[in-house]
Amino acid sequence: MSKNPKDILSTYWGFSDFRPTQKPIIDAVLNNKDVLALLPTGGGKSICFQVPGLSKGGLTLVVSPLIALMDDQVKSLKSKGIKACAVTSAMGYREIDILLNNAALGAYDFLYLSPERIQTSLFRERYKQMPIQLIVIDEAHCISEWGHDFRPSYLNIRVLREENPNIPMIALTATATQRVKEDIVESLQLNDPFIHEVSFYRENLSYEVISTPNKLGSIIAYCNGKMHMTGIVYCSTRKAVKELAKVFMSNKLKSSMYHGGMSPADRRDSLARWMSGDSPVMIATNAFGMGIDKPNVRYVLHHDFPDNLESYVQEAGRGGRDGLQARSIVFIDGSEEASFEQAFIIKFPEISLIKKVYLHLLSYLRIATGSGKNETYPTDLNLLAKELSMSYIQLYNIIKILELNQELHFNESTFHSPKVRLLAHGLDLYNFQIKHPVIHPIIQFIEQITVGEDVLGTGFNPSKVSSALKISEPQLEEYLTFLNANGIIEYTPAIHLPTLLFLNERRPDDYFQLSYEAFTQRKSLAKEKLESVLSFLSATDCRSQHILAYFGQKTEPCGTCDNCQKANLPIEQTETFILEALNIPLGYLELIERIPLPKEALKRVIRDMQLTQKIQLIDGKFYR
């Protein structure tokens, strides 16, 4: 394989050249420089480390926060014929041991793992033997307490640098303030890094905030007649997603929905229909978007605004990735400040309640004192919330605080298909089959499906297996559990629930401590971010300038946001003209002809008056 980056890009990705934003990053990595790269959503971050990783040879170690993101990238690399693998919480100890051993022996080009995995003694031992040429830290803002998605486990990454300071490191993120950038450089101990920052300004994306007494009605009014376009509607809760999806259905508007509570199969189906264009609108929580790249999204609507500007910029930035015009519209009804305040109280409960929930959680999962460290537990949070007489969102927020306190790692949307691997062979296996003849067909079947497969295990469909063996699924599960208990196979059942990975052994109840100082600091930071959000929503200056100023950047007024439009056009005066003209109902063309203003600007005002319910279109006529 050629080591030339352009040849690699052409061979595996089919592109003739790098984007101007990618080339300086790739050159710096190939010159063994530490790099901090800030590329906006859709900026092609993965190529910035995958191409130089292949060019440098050896193993590229990628630290990533999301299993779904790791799985997607590993599948993508494998589909190109590139050797890649990921360590996930669904794997057993032996499976991880074999994988890391193979990585040390040079079996892979890319090894993906979570920051939590770095702490384990098994990884630390194998790391010393691995032929690593490049270390990649994806979503690097997670390392900063000042970031919008701080994960304490990211602080463990510095061990990689301490263990081997000569391996170059590249940290990538889509959004970071000046304070976060400084934190990333310091925490990762980047050595005189090359910092490449692309402006967050999106010339083809207009940021708009529209005040309306009926957000739901305004969203329906906007999407009506746009079923030929692709769009996303973001809501803050699963309940809001479901309610909005029902309203879309009753208005005969095609849509899909996506949230963390859906089964993996339903999420895949929903995504496939949206990607194909069969369902033009995706109604989703913020669980939707990471790693999903659809270039022709023409609008991103927010029924609810996130509690920080970083998340908003990432969500809005999923519009117009093809470079054509797109709109990001936030609908507000005046209740935002009160809603944020209520959510803030739930997000930061009393420390005594946090301790109570933590101890109940340990008892619920039957974790004995002195045990639980590095063990993963599927957990039904809805059932647990009922036991504690609290809402799901209250419990969720407390678990996130425990995660920040480095007690556990929470994986919200976990699904792993069952896996099986044969451990016994030869005479041992033969003697066992003689002793238990009823098991023979299952062992024979396992031998067949594992022939030529990866030594790490084979995923299989229990329904198809039980059908082939002419036994029920519960009976199959019983046999597999029996074989696993006797050391004949290593069997990992399917996991459908969220999982909790405990980072410490259970200590006596009185030993649990939550840092009051750290808790107060995070609360203060969250308040700062909330104030920035409220400032953006009520701003009268250019929206693009407002966003860029938050990230320490500058730009000229965009001319396309709602505030720039108001500055360029006397909106109130125009609305008065329209309302006066509608003393009698008028059709669209009749109304346009009666107002002596530029047609394109006028069309926009009419559309926005519809969204704010100031005028209505009924049977082809406008009414005020």
Percent of the chain residues past pLDDT 70, beyond the cut: 94
Q: For 64-115, write each residue's pLDDT tens digit.
A: 987 778 888 898 899 999 999 999 766 777 888 999 999 999 999 999 998 8
pLDDT exceeds 50 at position 225: yes
pLDDT at 415: 57
Nearest CA-CA partner of 25 in 54, 42, 46: 46
For the whole model, what pTM was predicted?
0.76
Q: Which tops the pLDDT comparison, 496 or 362?
A: 362
Q: Which tops the pLDDT comparison, 573 or 132?
A: 132
Q: Is the dihedral of CA 595, 597, 599, 604 positive or negative?
A: negative
Percent of the chain residues past pLDDT 90, beyond the cut: 44
pLDDT at 89: 67
Q: Hey, what are 528's tokens?
A: 């700062």
Any idea which residue has 């384990």 for tokens?
Answer: 120
Mean pLDDT over 410-425 rounds to 74
pLDDT range class, residue 390, cuts 50, 70, 90: very high
Q: Pick from 144-148, 395-399, 588-592 the range whose average pLDDT is largest.
A: 395-399
Q: What is the 3-state secondary structure (H, E, C) of 348-403?
A: CCCHHHHHHHHHHHHHHCCCCECCCCCCEEECCHHHHHHHCCCCHHHHHHHHHHHH
Q: Pick from 211-220, 273-282, 425-434 the range whose average pLDDT is largest.
A: 273-282
Strand partners, 171: 36, 137
pLDDT at 452: 47
Question: Strands 419-422 and 458-459: what pairing?
Answer: antiparallel
Q: Which residues contact 318 (CB under 8 A, 6 or more apart)?
A: 41, 42, 232, 289, 292, 294, 297, 300
Q: Which tops the pLDDT comparison, 400 or 280?
A: 280
Region of poorest pLDDT, from 87-101, 189-203, 206-220: 87-101
Q: Angle formed by the axes of helices 516-538 and 543-550, to 10°?
A: 160
Which amino acid, 459? G
Which of 472-484 are b and which e, b meaning 16 or more Cβ less than 10 Å from the residue's Cβ? eeeebbebbebbb
Q: Does residue 120 contact residue 374 with C-beta atoms inside 8 Å?
A: yes
pLDDT at 1: 55
pLDDT at 504: 86
pLDDT range class, residue 194, cuts 50, 70, 90: very high
Region of poorest pLDDT, from 219-223, 253-257, 454-458: 454-458
Q: Give the integer Cα–Cα distance in Å for 249 and 257.
A: 11
Mean pLDDT over 362-370 rounds to 92
pLDDT range class, residue 603, cuts 50, 70, 90: confident
Q: Give the integer Cα–Cα distance in Å for 543 and 18.
A: 31
pLDDT at 596: 58
Which amino acid, 260? G
Q: Which tops the pLDDT comparison, 2 or 388?
A: 388
pLDDT range class, residue 453, cuts 50, 70, 90: very low
User: What three-state secondary structure class fits 151?
Assistant: coil
Q: Does residue 295 contact residue 322 with C-beta atoms inside 8 Å?
A: yes
pLDDT at 189: 93
Q: Mean pLDDT score of the chain, rounded to an integer?
A: 87
pLDDT range class, residue 456, cuts 50, 70, 90: very low
Q: Does residue 5 contact residue 51 with C-beta atoms inside 8 Å?
A: yes
pLDDT range class, residue 454, cuts 50, 70, 90: very low
pLDDT exceeds 90 at position 117: no
pLDDT at 427: 87
Q: Give the integer Cα–Cα distance in Å for 496 and 462.
A: 14
pLDDT range class, residue 26, cuts 50, 70, 90: very high
pLDDT range class, residue 137, cuts 50, 70, 90: very high
pLDDT exceeds 50 at position 448: yes
Left (φ > 0), alpha (ψ -120 to 50) or beta: where does 607 sit? alpha
Q: For 275-329, write each residue's pLDDT tens digit.
A: 999 999 999 998 787 667 788 999 999 999 999 999 999 899 999 988 899 999 9
pLDDT exceeds 70 at position 119: yes
Q: Which helix (H) or strand (E) holds 87?
A: none
Which of 37-55 are b and which e, b meaning 16 or more Cβ less than 10 Å from the residue's Cβ? bbbbbbbebbbbbbbbbbb
Q: Which tops the pLDDT comparison, 598 or 309?
A: 309
Region of poorest pLDDT, from 64-68, 103-107, 186-190, 554-558: 64-68
pLDDT range class, residue 571, cuts 50, 70, 90: low
Q: Which tops the pLDDT comparison, 544 or 290?
A: 544
Q: Does residue 223 contact residue 281 with C-beta atoms inside 8 Å?
A: yes
Any idea which residue has 């708009």 for tokens?
Answer: 208
